[in-house]
């Protein structure tokens, strides 16, 4: 089957997320990680390590072009990221309204 490109699980990557205290991983791709590990066949290997173990929130399919252009224009790359999720009863995920406050 098709394997979406993205980050691949490694202990070093998870430790890096923990050391840097990264609370969110926001991408403009369908998946933040490979959809299954080609060598082991494990599905979504980073989900458990980042979401369950470290509490990292994943936001995918975000429009980042305007933010990247604004940051490049003035050289400011820091901002407050806020994402208000839609309340979904008994859901395991929800659409969000992501906002970058610069």
Please name which of 35, 45, 43 lies closest in space to residue 6, comparing C-alpha atoms.
Answer: 35
Domain tally for the chain?
A: 2
State residue 84's pLDDT score. 87
In this structure, the answer to whether residues 86 and 36 fall within a common structural domain is no
In this structure, the answer to whether residues 13 and 29 fall within a common structural domain is yes
In this structure, the answer to whether residues 35 and 50 fall within a common structural domain is yes
In this structure, the answer to whether residues 97 and 48 fall within a common structural domain is no
In this structure, the answer to whether residues 21 and 51 fall within a common structural domain is yes
Distance CA 99, CA 83 (A): 6
pLDDT per position as a tens digit, 8-65: 889 999 999 999 999 999 999 888 888 888 788 888 888 889 999 999 999 999 999 9
pTM of the model: 0.81
Q: What's the domain range around 2?
A: 1-62
């Amino acid at each position: 089957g098709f394997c979406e490109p993205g980050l691949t699980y490694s202990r070093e990557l998870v430790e890096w997320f923990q050391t840097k205290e990264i609370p969110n991983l926001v991408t403009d791709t369908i998946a933040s990680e490979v959809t299954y590990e080609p060598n082991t066949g494990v599905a979504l290997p980073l989900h458990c390590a980042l979401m369950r173990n470290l509490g990292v929130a994943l936001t995918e399919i975000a429009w980042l072009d305007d933010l990247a252009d604004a940051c490049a224009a003035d050289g400011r790359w820091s901002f407050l990221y806020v994402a208000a999720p839609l309340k979904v009863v008994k859901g395991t995920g929800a659409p969000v309204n992501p906002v970058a406050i610069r």
